[in-house]
Amino acid sequence: MDMGASGRDHGRMETRDNVAAMLAEARRAEGDQLRSRDLGVLWHPCTQMAEHPDPLPLVPIRRGRGAWLEGMDGRQYLDAVSSWWTNLFGHAEPRIAAAIAAQARELEHVIFAGFTHEPAVRLAESLLRLAPPGLARVFYADNGSAAIEIALKMSFHSFLNRGQPGRTRFIALSNGYHGETLGALSMGDIPLYRRTYAPLLLTPLFAPSPDAYEALPGESAHECALRRADELEAIFAAHEGEVCALVLEPLVQCAGGMRMHDPAYLRRAREICDAHGAHLIADEIAVGFGRTGTLFACEQAGITPDLLCLSKGLTGGFLPLSAVLATAAIYDAFLDDSRERAFLHSHSYTGNPLGCAAALASLRIFETEPVLERNRVTAGRMRSSLARFQSIHMLRRSGKRG
Ligand SMILES: Cc1ncc(COP(=O)(O)O)c(C=O)c1O
């Protein structure tokens, strides 16, 4: 054996290790520096800032690839919350990234009142083609809460234009969540977010959640849904002619703890809204784009809402964009000689071309790949791996009741 060569190899390995250690140290220092610069100037969402840096250290992120985020210190984090439920196909998805870059070279933005552009029109055409049948118009905004505000205002204003000024109330579900702006927050029922601002909020009528987890002993999810729908109907009956709309998260109350209900509730809710002349607003901001196994959750109940709110996954998780899909009946209520009867709602970035291009690229992936089928296979695998924890579910359930 040539000891000289082996010694040289050993020396080379040692140098490599030293370089790697120095690089790791430099990365850590860079991360620490960013963290302290951040804490000098920023205010993070949904965060008690006093918890930073202790007990909660901020996590500086360098890049994202697929389901993984890479910390500045080189650590890998599985993005199990899909970056606040926005990401559909993984970070830095190349087709969506390329579509945004190409659009940025053509038209980054233009005022959307009085002007239009190809990505906005194409996206509206695609959304109307894919959404439950009967929706006819698309109104854009730039986040989920704004979409809820728009839906609430549209519903109220359309009744006003139709000569029903007495319809000023909304019905929302207990344990629901619809965002953080005042109107959207008003429709939510999560005390941590709502309580502080209660004096500022609208006061919807809250109907009990059809959450299957809250089924009575021996009651199926379906029976629970129907019982809750009867209670919903009683609220409508007690407020005849006062209600603009029922607003709900179809199938899953996400921020409320991923609480699920039977589609029968949605079918009955649709019938009840129709019987009482009110709108149904489906907030699919979190559950839209395949999250429940179908492209939209409403499909599983075979219903079409009057107003459908979309955001989060709309751009595959790349850019802030939201859309409210409305029926022709609602749209037509605004057509008039008077501008006051028009829907005078706007945001500077309404219909942003980059967001629309990202959304079109994301929808194209749904159209060209078996995304929903793949999700079903993954869900099946997860279900069977979780089957052995069934008893824990029962434990939690009895604990909650006990
Ligand atoms: C069901 C639902 N609606 C509305 C919103 C609000 O969306 P945004 O955070 O984009 O304002 C959320 C956000 O989590 C949501 O889950």
Q: pLDDT per residue over 219-229, tens digit each?
A: 999 999 999 99
Q: Is the CB of 259 under 6 A from ligand 1?
A: no
Asked if 292 and 253 count as a contact pair (C-beta separation under 8 A), the reply is no
Q: Is the CB of 120 under 6 A from ligand 1?
A: no
Higher-confidence residue of 76 and 396: namely: 76
One-letter amino acid at 295 equals L
Strand ranges in 80-134 using DSSP code E only, listed in sequence order: none
Confidence of residue 402 (pLDDT cuts 50, 70, 90): very low
Q: How far is the CA of 114 from the centre of ligand 1 (A)?
A: 29
Angle (CA) 296 300 305, round 5°:
60
Q: Is the CB of 285 under 6 A from ligand 1?
A: yes
Answer whether the bond into residue 53 is a cis peptide, omega within 30°: yes
Region 222-250: what's the mean pLDDT? Answer: 98
Which of helix, strand or coil describes residue 262?
coil
Token duo for residue 346: 């706007």
Q: How far is the CA of 372 from the centre of ligand 1 (A)?
A: 22
Ligand 1 pocket mutation pick from 87, 178, 247 by most atoms within 8 angstroms of CB: 178
- According to DSSP, the β-strands at 243-248 and 205-207 are unpaired
Angle (CA) 305 207 191, round 5°:
110
Asked if 88 and 313 count as a contact pair (C-beta separation under 8 A), the reply is yes
pLDDT of the residue at 122: 98
**Residue 395 pLDDT > 50, yes or no?**
no
Exposed / middle / buried, residue 14 (Cβ in 10 Å: 0-12, 13-18, 19+): exposed
pTM: 0.94
The residue whose CA is least distant from atom 8 of ligand 1 is: 144
pLDDT of the residue at 14: 81
DSSP element (H, E) containing 141: strand 135-141
Confidence of residue 20 (pLDDT cuts 50, 70, 90): confident
Token duo for residue 141: 């905004």
Asked if 323 and 311 count as a contact pair (C-beta separation under 8 A), the reply is yes
Asked if 326 and 304 count as a contact pair (C-beta separation under 8 A), the reply is no
Region 363-380: what's the mean pLDDT? Answer: 96
One-letter amino acid at 339 equals R
One-letter amino acid at 235 equals I
Asked if 177 and 387 count as a contact pair (C-beta separation under 8 A), the reply is no
The residue whose CA is least distant from atom 10 of ligand 1 is: 144
DSSP-assigned beta bridge partners for residue 246: 171, 280
